[in-house]
Structure 1
Amino acid sequence: MLFLAPFLGWLCSGILKYILNFVKYGAKARSMVGNGGFPSTHTTVAVSTTAAIGFSSGIDSGLFALGVAFSFIIIIDATGIRKALGEHAKNLNHINSSSNVVFKTHRESQGHTRTEVLGGVGLGVIVGYMTSLFL
């Protein structure tokens, strides 16, 4: 049943992200779901899997250690590289808006704030725990 943890993490995060965006943006919520936003889906998927392994196999298992390392890589990527990508997109869109030539508009919401990542960690732990209960 552990194989369900990442899928359930993705599903729960996507549903929560859509609901929060619907409350905040209304009909535009559908276009807001994707990279970026609260909670971090990437973080939720990684942490839910890691937490499910930890709750079922123990935190001293090799698989749990591997999951923690993998989760850290995802979190660093979400708050660092992908956040920088979003800043680049914002700058490119600004250049596009002041240009006579029309270029593709780039999605600016790519990375995550610490709060969005912490939301993904919290949701991931909850989903991982719930998944481990049904083993």
Structure 2
Amino acid sequence: MGHILSYNPVITVGFFGLFIAQIIKLIVSLISSGRMDFRRLVDTGGMPSSHTSFVSSVTTSIGIIEGFHSTMFAVALCFSVIVVYDATNLRRSAGYHAQWLNRIVPDLLQGKIIKEKFDYKVLRELLGHNPVEVFVGGVLGVLIAVLTLYFLNIYP
């Protein structure tokens, strides 16, 4: 993996975008909750969207290196749109489902609707992103790509 990162600036920039977004997510969590929750480094959901930061870093890097007119950039852009759509819609909906289940299952377990007990594990509710989180992740990815490629002196 070290060889891939050292010889492929697009992958390197993508992982920088992902890593920096996760660090920011940890800081945002610390500010909002007042405690350091290191699970945020590998968790999904929250501000900013690391998925969007990753794909926008990769897509921007490809555009800068290969050209924004290239087929590679077009393919990367198409996949980026899919990832961003998934982050804002599908995964967000799954988060809403988890919220509702987390509200009704405790009542079910107390026998308010059903009588028998069953194993219950709290579902994760923070699966997706709101549009602002996705936007910030996208802007972050573009900035990381431009700055990293500039400092690596890989502008065409």
Same fold? TM cut 0.5 = yes
Q: Please identify, of 97-106 and 35-44, the stretch whose mean Cα deviation from structure 2 is larger.
A: 97-106
Matching of residue 58 in structure 1 with residue 67 in structure 2: yes
Q: Report the RMSD for the aligned CA atoms in angstroms.
A: 1.4
The answer on whether the counterparts of 1:2 and 1:131 sit within 8 Å (CA) in structure 2 is: no
- The secondary structure found in structure 1 opposite 2:45 is coil
Matching of residue 117 in structure 1 with residue 125 in structure 2: no
Cα distance in 1, alignment partners of residues 104 and 38 from structure 2: 27
Cα distance in 1, alignment partners of residues 138 and 120 from structure 2: 37
Matching of residue 77 in structure 1 with residue 77 in structure 2: no
Cα distance in 1, alignment partners of residues 128 and 47 from structure 2: 10
1:28 is displaced (CA, Å) by 5.2
Of the three residues 28, 32, 36, the one matched with 1:24 is 32
**Sequence identity (%):** 33
After the TM superposition, list the runs of 4 or more consecutive aligned residues in structure 1 that deviate by more than 6 angstroms.
none
Of the three residues 25, 39, 52, the one matched with 2:48 is 39
Number of residue pairs aligned between Structure 1 and Structure 2? 135
Q: Please identify, of 110-119 and 55-64, the stretch whose mean Cα deviation from structure 2 is larger.
A: 55-64
Structure 2 unaligned segments of length 5 or more: list them: 1-8, 110-116
Q: Please report the TM-score for the alignment, with normalisation by the length of structure 1.
A: 0.93
Q: Please report the TM-score for the alignment, with normalisation by the length of structure 2.
A: 0.81
Structure 1 unaligned segments of length 5 or more: list them: none
Q: Please identify, of 90-99 and 13-22, the stretch whose mean Cα deviation from structure 2 is larger.
A: 90-99
Cα distance in 2, alignment partners of residues 28 and 90 from structure 1: 23
The answer on whether the counterparts of 2:26 and 2:36 sit within 8 Å (CA) in structure 1 is: no
Q: Please identify, of 72-81 and 30-39, the stretch whose mean Cα deviation from structure 2 is larger.
A: 30-39
